[in-house]
Structure 1
Amino acid sequence: MLCGKMAFIRGKLEPIAERLVFYGKGAVCDIAPRTPFYAYRERLFARLGEAASEQPEIFKRVNLCNQLSAATAANPECSLRRISRRSSRYFYDLNEYLKYFPAHLRVDYLFGDITHVPGHASLVKSRPISRENVNSVLLNLDKLRHFKLTSDRRAWNDKAGRAVWRGGIHNRLRTALVRRHAGNPAADVGHIGEPFEGIAPKSFMTREEQMAYRYIISVEGNDVATNLKWIMASGSVCLMTRPRFETWFLESRLVPDLHYVELADDFSDLDEKIDALEADPDRALRIVANANAYVRHMADRKLERIVSLLVLQKYFEATAQLPPSTFSPLFFGES
């Protein structure tokens, strides 16, 4: 009983502490002078430039997040000093990397859950997965919500051989899941909030409680599924429909049956997919290992800073605000 109460208290206090640290660091960065950041960027780029051609994976990621060409017709409107602080989580995440660049430079940006492609080259958190999304330049925004991972210490054999999902109902996919699988003995599927078409809501479940199941369902919300990253970092298999949107996580690079198990849009094959995985635990564990490896390469803070700064360097070069650099051939190809 005491352990349960302590876990409950810790679960309430940890997010508060994380927010305090995040906002504190963001505020300090905001008021700090730019000069030390400039110097760091110059040193970093000088070291990287010596071996840039030997880092193909870094530049592959940069060019996936930022697909602008060298002849981008853009005239960004907002100077770096005038970016809105109203959405403070987004502002602090963006400012963390813009601080390394001169304040006279300009950007276009959109904060929030972006599901359309802007008319101008803009910095965004999310974009549609499409060949027409060139103007959407991805950065790791709102990472306090989207990139908070949770340790999973449960062994596979200690997890229940069922699937689980909790969430609000506010789109077609989530509605389809609840309609078809509320009450399914093979899956603890439940929505949070008000009764829906005679189906009673279920209680909230923590990440730790959901990780007691071998299979966790991920369903896109306003844009991407917030739970996707921590599911793929856990010891459970991610079950989801093919993603329609992507973020810094580059959901478009995820491969069915390698990183996750794909479900039909109407979730009609959920039981079938669970049965197949239960019959072949080695396959399930391979998928978990591949998912963990995908997440792990984004957990290196130094590497994430390098990729973020290169995405912005390419943005400023593409919009003709900075001159060509050592990296230009890797950004845009040889001229």
Structure 2
Amino acid sequence: MKLLYYIKHALLNVTPSRCFNFHKDRLDGEFRELSNYVLGRVNYYVNLNNEFTLPVESVAIKNYKRKGYTSYYFDLKEFLHYFPKDFKFEYYFGDETHIEPVPTLFKARPIEGDNKNSVLFKLDKRRHFRFVDDKLSFTEKKDMAVFRGAVTQPHRIKFMQALFGNPLVDAGQSNESQDHPEWKKPFMSVEEQLQYKFLVCLEGNDVASNLKWAMSSNSVVVTPKMKFETWFMEGTLEAGKHYIEVKDDFSDFEEKINYYIEHPEEAEKIINNAHEYIKPFMNEKLEQLVCIKTLERYFQLSGQYEKSK
């Protein structure tokens, strides 16, 4: 799969610009009826009302080079091919959520507060945008929640302190712990996790990397209120509709899990809503168009289209 990934991007580098223009026009035509939906997504990612000026030292597309963060680099490069090589932009790679002084392309940003200078783009997508074909129905799964992941941040430590050993959750961390060696548990595959009715999705340095595949499953996502968002627009997800929200101290975790075990019909409504939400993100062509339009808006607001004309 990695070889195919690199071959794809190598071919993109030698593809004539007219092919990208043709593909964009074809996508525009194919999704013309969804133009308002696409516009809504673009407005969400580029949360700016006014034009802005980029610093002189901003990188031009023709000078964009790979410096670590390979997946980030290629995810952005794939769509920079659609624009003039002298167009400039600002970007920041990695699990960072700070706000830059000028509009900058980020993978994630805070949901609350003034986040307009963080322009969301679909980055590190091979890790974050995975989906599953869950063969088990909700009723066939274990009456438990499950969590596996690295436990280094304070909120994840708080989760383990509150719920490790609780009979309603199989909680285990993937990294070593000197303070709590008992928290370390063996690796659990996605397929094994899908045997549980509830999937705990905890934010790490930014968003929970398992959230997308968890919402595509026939299990229910359980998480405290989300603080960060990505291309997946986590800020638009609704507690009780798309996922089960628990308190930051997890004091109501048992109550919420028991309620939905006893009311499976309500859990299945959440699952169905999650599936509806995730559908557009599984449409590869539609995702391509939204990516192109997002960069197009960024370049328009930075005044570069007028200059190029």
TM-score (norm 2): 0.93
In structure 2, the partner of 1:327 is none
Kindly report which structure 2 residues correspond to 1:247-286, keeping only aligned pairs within 5 A, or say none: 247-286=230-269
Deviation at 1:23, TM superposition (A): 2.3
Please state whether the residue corresponding to 2:281 is helix, strand or coil. Answer: coil
- Whether 1:149 aligns to 2:131 is yes
Deviation at 1:297, TM superposition (A): 1.5
Deviation at 1:48, TM superposition (A): 7.8
Q: In structure 2, what residue type is equivalent to 1:68? A: L
Aligned counterparts of 1:206 and 1:20: Cα–Cα separation in 2: 23
Aligned counterparts of 2:224 and 2:4: Cα–Cα separation in 1: 35
Kindly report which structure 2 residues correspond to 1:210-225, keeping only aligned pairs within 5 A, or say none: 210-225=193-208
- Whether 1:80 aligns to 2:52 is no
Deviation at 1:44, TM superposition (A): 4.5
Kindly report which structure 2 residues correspond to 1:322-333, keeping only aligned pairs within 5 A, or say none: 322-323=305-306
Aligned counterparts of 1:299 and 1:323: Cα–Cα separation in 2: 34
* Range with greater deviation from structure 2 (219-228 or 300-309): 300-309
Unaligned stretches of 5+ residues in structure 1: 1-16, 325-335
Among the aligned pairs, what percent are the same residue?
36
Q: In structure 1, what residue type is equivalent to 2:174? A: I
Q: In structure 2, what residue type is equivalent to 1:269? A: D
CA contact 1:182–1:199 (8 Å) conserved in 2: no
Aligned counterparts of 2:170 and 2:202: Cα–Cα separation in 1: 14
Aligned counterparts of 1:98 and 1:308: Cα–Cα separation in 2: 10
Alpha carbons of structure 1 residues 276 and 199: separation in structure 2 relative to 1, 3 Å: farther
- Whether 1:321 aligns to 2:304 is yes
Kindly report which structure 2 residues correspond to 1:29-44, keeping only aligned pairs within 5 A, or say none: 29-42=12-25, 44=27
Q: In structure 2, what residue type is equivalent to 1:83? A: Y
Deviation at 1:96, TM superposition (A): 1.1
Match 2:49 to one of 66, 69, 76: 69
Match 2:223 to one of 232, 236, 240: 240
Aligned counterparts of 2:132 and 2:25: Cα–Cα separation in 1: 35
Unaligned stretches of 5+ residues in structure 2: none
- Whether 1:122 aligns to 2:97 is no
- Whether 1:162 aligns to 2:139 is no
Residues 82-138 of structure 1 deviation map (CA, whole Å, 9 limit, x = unaligned):
223122211111011111111111111111112111111111111111241111111
Q: In structure 2, what residue type is equivalent to 1:244? A: K
Q: What is the aligned length?
A: 304
Aligned counterparts of 1:130 and 1:104: Cα–Cα separation in 2: 34
In structure 1, the partner of 2:160 is 178
CA contact 1:110–1:122 (8 Å) conserved in 2: yes
